[in-house]
């Protein structure tokens, strides 16, 4: 096992990634859960929301670089 060097990542980028991961991951998991429960409209809207959040995340990360 090796140690990952994150010294070249700015603190703003690191915090941005952590915040967006805290938003995107629960939306995807709740969307999948709702799909298994048979609530397709809510499930697809949650997954769509996570995709939209990911696109916003990509825009923000490109602006921070």
The owner of tokens 């609530």 is 39
pTM of the model: 0.75
Calpha distance 12→63 (Å, rounded): 11
User: pLDDT tens digit string along 18-28?
Assistant: 888 898 999 99
Q: Give pairs for 57-65: CB < 8 Å, separation 24+.
A: 57/16, 57/20, 57/24, 60/16, 60/20, 61/13, 61/16, 61/17, 64/10, 64/12, 64/13, 64/16, 65/13
Domain ranges of the chain: 29-65
Quickly state the pLDDT bin for 10 (edges 50, 70, 90). confident
């Amino acid at each position: 096992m090796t140690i990952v060097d994150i010294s070249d990542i700015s603190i703003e980028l690191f915090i941005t990634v952590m915040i967006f991961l805290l938003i995107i991951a629960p939306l995807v998991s709740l969307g999948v859960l709702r799909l298994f429960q048979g609530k397709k409209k809510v499930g697809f809207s949650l997954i769509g929301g996570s995709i939209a959040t990911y696109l916003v995340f990509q825009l923000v990360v490109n602006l921070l670089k």
